[in-house]
Amino acid sequence: MAAFHSPSTASIGMVLLLLICFSMAAFAYGNFYHNFDVVWGDGRAVIQEGGDLLTLSLDKTSGSGFQSKDEYLYGKIDMQLKLVPGNSAGTVTAYYVSLQLSSKGEAWDEIDFEFLGNLSGQPYILHTNVFCQGKGNREQQFYLWFDPTADFHTYSILWNPERIVFSVDGIPIREFKNLEFLGVPFPKNQKMRLYSTLWNADDWATRGGLVKTDWSEAPFKASYRNFNADACVWSSGSSYCSSNKNAWFWEELNFAKKGQMKWVLNNYMVYNYCEDTKRFPQGLPTECTFADIL
């Protein structure tokens, strides 16, 4: 018969430490009640599960949306989304950081993820854009390498003084570098909120507006969880950064991450403004002349 040994003090301490770490990791995710305000939708945006889940819905009458309570000036922002399933043609799920909507003028900044719905069985198109001082026209579009409606996936925006990086499940898909020394504007002075909306855009979203929204499929629903903002929060005229700031404030893509991004660009990119010479007959935008920008 094997002898029974009581657990050592060190073993008990290790278990307690692991439990504390798991608790801290869970607590690190934001709570939708605490971090966001529902801004439109007349009840179509619903916070559930004690603040751990938020759903947006769209019907023929209205879409819905929410915004962060905090404003940010640089940060690394993650959100897990599960997109509208089935026939989502005509719908757009937008997830982006921008100036306060009521404050937009000619010089607003914005960093966009937009998910363009499609007919059942056809892939979503992930549309990205960067607005600097009111000027966009920097669209890149991608297919995803998974079904974004079957489960939650993490979509991230890294925004620091040197670059903006769009990532999906930790894989970078796009980098927009700070090239102000070449006269290319870069968002660096204006605080921004995080927004997300689900809305009807069947005048352009699916095949340029050729495929319309099938309202018999409504209500359309997108779900959100596990928000995290490791960021500099704007408050009372100053920016207050997280204690983990050094991990992302000067972060750049290492060799492995550049390899991942190249894989995405080679296999999943479906539109790149830097290759659209018909759109820019007078010459491609300045940043497009630098091969390492892509």
Tell me which residues are annotated as active site.
110, 114
Q: How many CB atoms lie within 10 A of CB 201?
A: 17
CA Rg, the chain, in Å? 21
Distance from CA of residue 169 to its chain's centroid?
11
